[in-house]
């Protein structure tokens, strides 16, 4: 009696399993469309597939299907080795048969699929690859304008692409930024898998763009690395210094740094005056109304004060403006009268710019006297020692 009950329970459980299987079939669960002798690919189980990695290897093969049982167990063979897998993991593999009109070096003439990392590793123009039947059907479906534009076709992590996004890419339209970024994700992953320089920080975008453009235009290899960027930055500086010229007051000095010239040595030693750009028209326009009726000495002093006030990065030390600017009206009139009547140094002191560093004073005089032709007084204050007037 006990054995009879056990057998009956087993039959009952098998009946439930059969009903559940039939119910799944009626719900449209995808059935395998391969038969013995077909070439197939083995895909990863859906639960193990990680989202977001667009170029992750999801299939292995091709294998030859040797057997298929009624319970869904398939036998596949490659190089004489046979393994058992669930039939739900199998995908048909379509091998192009006719190569007569393909150009030399096309993807179909590349290495066997088993020997490459992924399809982007194959050589030749990938876009000239002949499409398989399923690929043609897929493109026809996705690019069909009669179908809903808002249908979601791809949803992989942060990537959500609708049919209208694919229209912008696959048809003659302006490419939409969302699907353009998805293309760049493929490029980024392909670059990661191959010896291609990839940026690791957020400060070198422009340098990488320069190097990519240079290598593409010249046909050079992408042999630079992220660790080479500091040296590459300096190399670009030298390219500009050696190949561009410099001009001053209409004089063309040529490629000053192209070779180690005497002029370059003087500049490095600090004996050659540096060149600065001063917004001279703005100085005249802003100060012209205020100083039009003033004596020439005061006009030049105000223009020089404008340079000091609007060039904070030009001087390394402190600069003291003339004390005349801090006087009241009566004291200013008295200082102007003394300056006009006396030739002593004390008379010029209220109109003198005082510099902490001698180098700053020299730069100031080069700009005012040599470049702008201004008559100004400048000195260097060292504790209680007298000023040196230029």
Q: Which has the minimum average pLDDT: 124-138, 164-178, 349-363?
A: 124-138
Percent of the chain predicted with pLDDT > 90: 3
Q: How far apart are CA 145 and CA 143, in angstroms?
A: 6
- Report pLDDT for 124: 56
Angle, vertex CA 34, rays to CA 75 and CA 130, nearest 5 = 115
Note the pLDDT tens digit of each residue in 172-191: 888 888 898 888 888 877 77
- Report pLDDT for 143: 92
- Report pLDDT for 168: 92
Note the pLDDT tens digit of each residue in 16-25: 888 877 776 6
- Report pLDDT for 172: 86
- Report pLDDT for 3: 75
Q: How far apart are CA 302 and CA 299, in angstroms?
A: 5
Q: Which has the minimum average pLDDT: 129-138, 188-197, 217-226, 351-360?
A: 188-197
- What is the 3 state secondary structure string of 166-234? HHHHHCCCCCCHHHHHHHHHHHHHHHHHCCCCCCCCCCCHHHHHHHHHHHHHHCCCCCCCHHHHHHHHH
- Report pLDDT for 165: 92
Domain spans in the chain, listed from the N-terminal domain onward: 39-94+107-126, 133-194, 199-258, 280-380
Spell out the alpha helix ranges (H) of 46-176. Answer: 133-142, 163-170
C-alpha R_g of the chain: 40
Q: Which has the minimum average pLDDT: 33-47, 272-286, 372-386?
A: 272-286
Q: Which has the minimum average pLDDT: 68-82, 111-125, 135-149?
A: 111-125
- Report pLDDT for 117: 44
- Report pLDDT for 313: 76
Note the pLDDT tens digit of each residue in 100-109: 444 444 444 4
- Report pLDDT for 164: 92
291 or 136: whose pLDDT is higher? 136
202 or 335: whose pLDDT is higher? 335
Confidence class for position 167, pLDDT limits 50, 70, 90: very high
Q: How far apart are CA 95 and CA 41, in angstroms?
A: 12
For the chain, counts of helices (H) and of strands (E): 12, 12
Confidence class for position 219, pLDDT limits 50, 70, 90: confident
Q: How far apart are CA 291 and CA 302, in angstroms?
A: 8
Confidence class for position 279, pLDDT limits 50, 70, 90: low
In this structure, the number of other CB atoms found within 10 A of the CB of residue 312 comes to: 8
49 or 153: whose pLDDT is higher? 153
């Amino acid at each position: 009696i006990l054995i009879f009950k056990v057998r009956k329970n087993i039959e009952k459980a098998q009946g439930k399993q059969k009903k559940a299987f039939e119910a799944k079939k009626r719900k449209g669960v995808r059935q395998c469309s391969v038969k013995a002798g077909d070439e197939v690919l083995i895909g990863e189980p859906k639960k193990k597939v990680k989202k977001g990695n667009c170029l992750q290897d999801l299939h292995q093969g091709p294998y030859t299907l040797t057997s298929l049982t009624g319970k869904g167990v398939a036998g596949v063979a490659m190089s004489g080795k046979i393994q058992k897998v669930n039939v739900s993991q199998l995908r048909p593999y379509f091998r192009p048969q006719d190569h007569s009109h393909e150009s030399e070096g096309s993807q179909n003439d590349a290495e066997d699929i088993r020997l490459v990392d992924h399809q982007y590793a194959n050589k030749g123009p990938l876009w000239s690859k002949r499409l398989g039947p399923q690929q043609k059907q897929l493109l026809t479906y996705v690019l069909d304008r009669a179908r809903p534009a808002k249908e979601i076709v791809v949803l992989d992590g942060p990537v959500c692409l609708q049919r209208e996004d694919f229209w912008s890419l696959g048809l003659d339209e302006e490419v939409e930024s969302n699907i353009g970024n998805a293309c760049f994700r493929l490029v980024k992953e392909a670059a990661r898998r191959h010896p291609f320089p990839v940026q690791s920080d957020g400060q070198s975008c422009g340098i990488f763009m320069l190097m990519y453009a240079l290598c593409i235009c010249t046909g050079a290899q992408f042999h630079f690395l992220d660790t080479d960027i500091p040296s590459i930055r300096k190399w670009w500086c030298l390219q500009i210094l050696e190949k561009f010229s410099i001009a001053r007051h209409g004089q063309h000095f040529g490629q000053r740094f192209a070779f180690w010239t005497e002029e370059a040595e003087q500049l490095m030693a600090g004996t050659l005056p540096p060149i600065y750009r001063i917004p001279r028209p703005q100085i005249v326009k802003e100060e012209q109304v205020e100083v039009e009726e003033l004596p020439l000495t005061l006009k030049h002093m105000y223009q020089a004060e404008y340079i000091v006030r609007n060039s904070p990065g030009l001087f390394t030390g402190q600069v003291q403006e003339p004390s005349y600017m801090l006087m009241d009206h009566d004291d200013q009139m008295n200082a102007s009268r003394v300056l006009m009547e006396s030739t002593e140094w004390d008379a010029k002191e209220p109109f003198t710019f005082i510099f902490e560093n001698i180098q700053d004073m020299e730069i100031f005089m080069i700009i005012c006297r040599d470049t702008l032709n201004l008559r100004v007084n400048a000195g260097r204050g060292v504790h209680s020692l007298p000023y040196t007037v230029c």
